[in-house]
Structure 1
Amino acid sequence: MNASIRKFLKEEDGVTALEYGLLAAVVAGILIVVARKELGDFFTTLFTRLQAIATTATT
């Protein structure tokens, strides 16, 4: 039993995926903080254009 617990604790598979996930979350957070206004303007413009396209397509 102790040997299997030690083996589990020493196992490092999957750690890399977790590290990449944390890194991606940190980078996304930094981008949101730094470029808040630009991202807001971008998405406002994007959704306004998409709404116009959808309105045109349905009429």
Structure 2
Amino acid sequence: RTGKIVRVAGSGKKGADGVGGLPLLLELNQPHGVYWHSSGELYIADSSNHRVLKIVK
């Protein structure tokens, strides 16, 4: 562990595009929560898009 904070998902652009593509190209709209499962899957609550996204490593 390095103590560094890194972006693993989200392009920084507000929107709803990018599902099914690279996690760093994913557009989010008010992500409100994240959960990192011990299996390595990341879940993101994308509140204004009314969805929960699963990012698989």
| Structure of higher CA gyration radius | 1
TM-score of the alignment, normalized to the shorter chain, above 0.5: no
- Give 1 or 2: higher helix fraction: 1
Q: TM-score, normalised by structure 1?
A: 0.19
